[in-house]
Amino acid sequence: MRIGIDMGTTRTIAAGADRGNYPVLHFLDPDGDAHEHFPSLIALDGEELVHGFEAERAARAGAPHLRSFKRLLGDPGTHPGTTVELGGREFALLDLMTAYLTAVREALPVPPGQVAVSVPAHAHSVQRVMTLEAFRRADIDVIAMLNEPSAAGFEYTHHQSRSLTARRTRIAVYDLGGGTFDSSLVEADGAGHSVLGSRGENRLGGDDFDLALAELVLERAGLTEADLGEQGATLLLEECRAAKERLTPQTRRMMIDLGDDHDPVVLPVENFNTAVTPLVERTLEVMAPLVGDLDADSGIAGIYLVGGGSGLPLVGRMLRERFGRRVHRSPHPAASTAIGLAIAADPEADATLTDRLSRGIGVFREARAGEAVAFDQVLTPDAPLPKSGTTTVTRTYTAAHNLGWFRFVEHSALDEGGEPRGDLVPYADVLFPFDPALRGLDEAALAEVPVERREGGPQIEEIYSVDASGVVRVRITDLTSGYSREYGLARRG
């Protein structure tokens, strides 16, 4: 069966493609009960790594554990060699992800055939590369990687097609997950979708709402995390997440269990809403450039609420207060991305997507014999991604130095002076020897070479290629001699 797998911050959800239907697949816990998710949790049970439901059970018993490891992928400093401490031991993050996805594959109720997977719209190249590599190492055949809100757009047209008209052909996807917030403006033309723009924040999600609630509970109980201990603090977060997910528009009070040694805490819902209103307002600020005032000329059929965090009644209320009746919540908010991925993986759905890079790529280059640097924008955030194969951008120039020292960065925007700003992700420097005499040196030795201005340098060609998953590579070639090197634009350890 072709399936879609949405590896979320708190839960991983899978959906299958079955003759035009896209059911959410069930995972069995150790007691044999079925769930529409597999917990995104890793624990060290003795000397053994356990995952999902087994990790939940081990964590409740006090085992060292790692929650929300997907958030670590979004950190600017993460690279393929990044390690994580768990139970006093160091593990490579990529190895942990691979082991977790292997457990997901083994827990699926059907053998996965070809699979579509997702990443946040504002995932940087490292996150994309490491996600693809972890799925590959877990022996999962990935045929497509989509941005999460782009996948949710397919689920919208599958369930909400009647809201689309000749005048209103656009969908604004509001995706509040466990660890990230993403929004995309999607143009729908039947089964063909085109992403017009994306905005997001990699460290804003349901986890932050859980932490805000936990702080309120501790304050009301007159306790600190230290009073509860590590195991008690873990259980508190689980209780807060569960209490948040139980909320309905009619709920007035929340009761949080603090364990046998403390009385339960009863908290007015309005206190919680007041504490997290700034978080919801941040999501509206992030999304605002995409939707404006949602007037009649916007062409927007609706704002589509997806992601587990969008189930919070306050989220729907605040969006409706601002945008009125054109706010729709997915019938499967937590599973919307997985369902959309299954549609994308289904050849019978004939679904096509023109997505965009969502993050700009640029490079700081040496100038004035190394005394200054100049920034060169290579790919803009709205650069379209190819449906298959790669698209390329080429730069050709005469080298003016003995050594090219390239500092590649991803960024969300440029300031008025053309410099990158906001959510900046730097990469390890790339050193390319323009002087043939330097080409026998390794990178450590090249880093010790002073940059000097040279006349009559070789003709240099830079070819940047971006694939359908948003992964970027650059090949630098000395056209005079044919000497060439290729680099993946992902931060290295």
Q: Are residues 96 and 19 in the same domain?
A: yes
Q: Which domain holds residue 262?
A: 206-276
Tell how far CA 8 is from the center of its chain: 9
Q: Are residues 293 and 412 in the same domain?
A: no
Q: Which stretches of the chain score pLDDT less than 50?
A: 491-493
Looking at residue 312, what is its pLDDT? 94
pTM score: 0.85
Phi, psi of 363 (to 5 degrees): -145, 135
User: CATH code at 185?
Assistant: 3.30.420.40
Give the pair of three-digit tokens for residue 286: 């992030």
| Residue (of 85, 155, 125, 124) closest to 304 by Cα position | 155
Q: Are residues 251 and 137 in the same domain?
A: no
Q: Are residues 199 and 215 in the same domain?
A: no
Looking at residue 370, what is its pLDDT? 53
CA 253 to CA 250: how far, in whole Å?
9
Domain end residue (candidates: 276, 301, 336): 276
Q: Are residues 256 and 271 in the same domain?
A: yes
CA 130 to CA 98: how far, in whole Å?
10
How many domains, in total, are found in the chain? 3
Within a domain: 382: yes
| Residue (of 414, 408, 409) closest to 432 by Cα position | 408
- The amino acid occupying position 27 is F
Q: What angle (nearest 5°) sits at the alpha carbon of residue 179, between those of residues 177 and 182?
A: 55
Looking at residue 427, what is its pLDDT? 64
User: CATH code at 395?
Assistant: 2.60.34
CA 78 to each of CA 40, 121, 125, 434: distance values in angstroms, whole numbers, following the listed order: 19, 17, 11, 30
Looking at residue 216, what is its pLDDT? 97
Q: Are residues 72 and 187 in the same domain?
A: yes
Within a domain: 422: yes
> Parallel, antiparallel, or unpaired for β 38-39 and 11-16?
antiparallel
Looking at residue 159, what is its pLDDT? 86
Within a domain: 434: yes
Looking at residue 492, what is its pLDDT? 43
Within a domain: 493: no
Looking at residue 493, what is its pLDDT? 41
8 A C-beta contact, residue 142 and residue 132: yes
Q: Are residues 154 and 298 in the same domain?
A: yes
Give the pair of three-digit tokens for residue 493: 């350890």
How many CA atoms does the CB half-sphere of 114 hold within 13 Å? 8
Looking at residue 418, what is its pLDDT? 81
Looking at residue 367, what is its pLDDT? 67
Q: Are residues 107 and 167 in the same domain?
A: yes
- The amino acid occupying position 488 is G
- The amino acid occupying position 377 is Q
Residue range 92-146, pLDDT digits in tens:
999 999 999 999 999 999 999 999 999 998 888 788 889 999 999 999 999 999 9
CA 44 to each of CA 41, 59, 88, 143, 203: distance values in angstroms, whole numbers, following the listed order: 10, 9, 10, 32, 25
Looking at residue 397, what is its pLDDT? 93
Q: Are residues 288 and 262 in the same domain?
A: no
Neighbours of 298 (CB within 10 A): 16
Beta-bridge partners for 377: 362
Phi, psi of 462 (to 5 degrees): -115, 125
Q: Are residues 124 and 256 in the same domain?
A: no
Domain end residue (candidates: 353, 370, 398): 353
- Torsion over CA: 23, 145, 241, 100 (sign): positive
Q: Are residues 124 and 97 in the same domain?
A: yes
Domain end residue (candidates: 332, 353, 374): 353
Within a domain: 256: yes
Q: Are residues 85 and 155 in the same domain?
A: yes
